[in-house]
Structure 1
Amino acid sequence: MPQKFKQGEVVKLKSGGPTMTIEKYKWETGFDYSKESDHVVVCTWFDNDGKLESRPFEQDALITVDNE
């Protein structure tokens, strides 16, 4: 599966929620190697209290947000 996003892109969940920034594609560990995921991205955002949050998401659950 091709990677859909680049580091620094602004996205949000297709179902809504806060705008988030693509931090990186997650690293997956196998039995004899580690590789960059082609479908799981780590996103960061600030919650309502200004606290920085970070979490992995499947890239198909995200859409790009146009810069305003």
Structure 2
Amino acid sequence: MELGMSSRTKRRVTVATLLLAIGASCPALASTAPLSPKGDAMVQFERGELVRLRSGGPMMTVSAVKDDQVKCIWTDDSGRPDDATFPADVLQKF
């Protein structure tokens, strides 16, 4: 995990990672292609878009996209900038 990341953010990233790992290891839960909540093909993210974790949390700005990994930046509760990279399927656009 990144240094300076709040403990709440670390927990969220850990939970999201565990849920993805469980889904990937269970054939009944894994799908052949990632789907958006509407059942469409995977939503594409672009630099500068506003996103949030599907499970909640702060509004974030997409700073980079590589394959299905989306790097996001945001400010924490104390106003300090923070960043992390998330799988695209755990994010939603705003």
- TM-score bracket, normalised by the shorter chain, equals 0.7 to 0.9
Corresponding residue pairs, total: 54
Structure 1, unpaired ranges of 5+: 26-36
Give how far 1:38 is off.
1.1
> What does 1:1-68 correspond to in 2, within 5 Å?
4-25=44-65, 37-65=66-94
Normalising by structure 1, report the TM-score: 0.73
8 Å Cα contact 1:3-1:38 kept in structure 2: no
CA RMSD of aligned residues (A): 1.6
Query: Counting helix residues as a fraction of each chain, which structure ranks higher?
Result: 2
Q: Conserved in 2, the CA contact under 8 Å of 1:10 and 1:64?
A: yes
Runs of 4+ in 1 over 3 A off after TM superposition: none
More relative contact order, 1 or 2 (CA 8 Å, 6+ apart): 1
TM-score normalised according to structure 2 size: 0.54
Long gaps (5+) in structure 2: 1-32, 34-41
